[in-house]
Amino acid sequence: MKKQLYLLVVISILITSCGPTSKLTKSQAYPEIYKQKPLAVLIMPPINRSTAVEAKEYFHTTLNVPIANAGYYVIPPFLSMEILKRESAYDSELFIERPSLEIFRDVFGADIALFTIITKWDKSSIGSNVKVEIEYIAKSTLTNEVLYSRKGEVIYNTSMSIGDNFLLNLVASALNTAATKYVDVAKACNTYTLSDLPAGKYAPKYGVDQQEMSGLKNFRVRLPK
């Protein structure tokens, strides 16, 4: 029995040690971005598979800032949303697997179509957090290749401390969790996940950040840190 247990421990260590533990540089993680040099980004309406109906709207309205801060031109979100609705293209599910996204290049002048998929949005009053599972996929409108993708679990901390009274802190944290605004959680998710974007043309680091280490493609993070 002891020998079997020892073998299991050794095997688990070997499996763990062989896993992908090293990070890549940005040029290794996102080579096509450096090759294609995209300028304009079209934010597609998020695909919401969670139970939080409002999540789609709040994610959409908070995506533009981190992308613009990274040095890209963002097609005005409200204008693009109105056009997509008018053209019956509001459901991004219809386009994410399409063999060509050239229509968005022709209509909007976009080099990238950014898709977001919200798979979970759970509030925990006892745990004092909001747990979100989200995936970001940026596809080229020229080649349809995936230029940038990250997927992860964001645990947004809503705990509060207003003294040494445990029960009082628990109640305060529960109330704060219930009152947490969707927009704050969406903003935190978008800012963290898109912080790994290679610098666009309008950023000071444009063309010189290739050797910076990239973030993990699949991540789990607690915010605010």
Tell me the per-residue pLDDT of 75-89, one tens digit each, with 9 for 90 and over.
Answer: 999 999 999 999 888
**What's the mean pLDDT in 28-38?**
98
Q: What are the pLDDT digits (tens) for 181-190?
A: 778 889 999 9
The pLDDT of residue 212 is 96
CA distance 25 to 197: 12
CA distance 27 to 32: 8
Q: Is the pLDDT of residue 19 over 80?
A: no
Counting the structural domains of the chain, the total is 1
Report phi then psi at 40, rounded to 5. -110, 135
**17 domain-assigned:** no
**What's the mean pLDDT in 2-14?**
41
**What's the mean pLDDT in 189-202?**
97
**31 domain-assigned:** yes
CATH number of the domain bearing residue 102: 3.40.50.10610
Q: Is the pLDDT of residue 7 over 80?
A: no
Share of the chain above pLDDT 70, in %: 78
Q: How confident is the model at residue 40 (pLDDT cuts 50, 70, 90)?
A: very high
- How does the average pLDDT of the chain come out, rounded? 84
Q: Is the pLDDT of residue 225 over 70?
A: no
Instruction: Assign 210 to helix, strand or coil.
Output: coil
**208 domain-assigned:** no
**103 domain-assigned:** yes
The pLDDT of residue 16 is 40
**92 domain-assigned:** yes
**115 domain-assigned:** yes
- Domain region containing 106: 24-202+219-223
The pLDDT of residue 199 is 98
Q: Is the pLDDT of residue 174 over 90?
A: no
**10 domain-assigned:** no
Q: Is the pLDDT of residue 18 over 60?
A: no
> When comparing pLDDT for 94 and 1, which is higher?
94
CA distance 214 to 27: 9
> Hey, what's the torsion of the CAs at 92, 96, 101, 104, to 10 degrees?
20
